[in-house]
Amino acid sequence: MLTAVVRPPGDSFARAISAQEPRPTINPDMARQQHAVYRAALQQAGVRLIELPADEQYPDACFVQDTAVIFEGLAVVARFGVATRQGEQAAVRQALQGHKRLAEIRAPATLEGGDVLAIGSRLFVGLSARTDRGGFVQVRDLVELEGGSVEPLEVPEGLHLLSGCTYLGQGVLLATDLYADLPAFAGLDVVRVPAEESYAANALGLGEYVLLPEGYPQTSARIRERGLETLSVPLYEFAKADGGATCLSLLF
């Protein structure tokens, strides 16, 4: 059974990082309602939840995926690319104790979980504004000891690698045009996300289910053509803070 670490947003989520201009107004109460729907969808897909309390000290703390990279029995605790997020890892590290063997990205390198795409035993690490080559090297060295392979990919736009492509399982990759034809993904069944639905490229594969942002009918239909069932959830408050479906849970 899959387990997901989740953490609802606090009132401080109104001050979450956003690259959008003009800066959108974030409604924490609405975000909490949407997070409840998200958690219910995870449970509908058979996922067991470890629910952490909201942390008002860290406005972006609901985006727990960024706090660690998990591969087999190993959890590599991230080091954030922005100083205001340092410290979010502590509660997640504690939640993972007893479940995984822990390692950490060492300063000055940075690595965020949203830049790591796992396809079986292969990991792709996006080199972005949040993850640097030092972070890639450290996670590569750790994961290779566990029998995995790790490759770098440049992130041409968006916050993280997973902003533009996510693996749904069963050989199916969801991707925008920027990623769909990369040689690294040869042999996969690539579901192209229409340009006008690019936010939907960040979807969460959960076995026979795919948790998808609400309001993207073309992407949903293309996923269902692969025999997968979509669970649509409203995530527009999290989109204002550049977050998506994968960002709100840390799966293992």
Catalytic residues: 160, 247
Helix, coil or strand: residue 226: coil
Q: Return the amino acid letter for 40.
A: A
Q: Is the dihedral angle over the CA atoms 191, 194, 195, 197 positive or is it negative? A: negative
Q: Return the amino acid letter for 193.
A: V
Q: Is the dihedral angle over the CA atoms 132, 6, 195, 224 positive or is it negative? A: positive
Q: With b meaning 16 or more CB within 10 Å and e meaning fewer, what string describes 108-125?
A: ebbbbbbbbbbeeeebbb
Distance CA 111, CA 113 (A): 7
Distance CA 220, CA 211 (A): 10
Q: Are 162 and 246 in contact (CB under 8 A)?
A: yes
Among 12, 19, 123, which residue's Cα sits nearest to residue 62?
12
Query: Residue 57 corresponds to which tokens in the numbers above?
Result: 């000290």
- Tokens 């590599």 belong to 76
> What are the strands of the beta sheet with 68-71, ordered from one edge?
68-71, 74-77, 101-104
DSSP assigned state of 140: H
Among 244, 182, 189, 241, which residue's Cα sits nearest to residue 216?
244
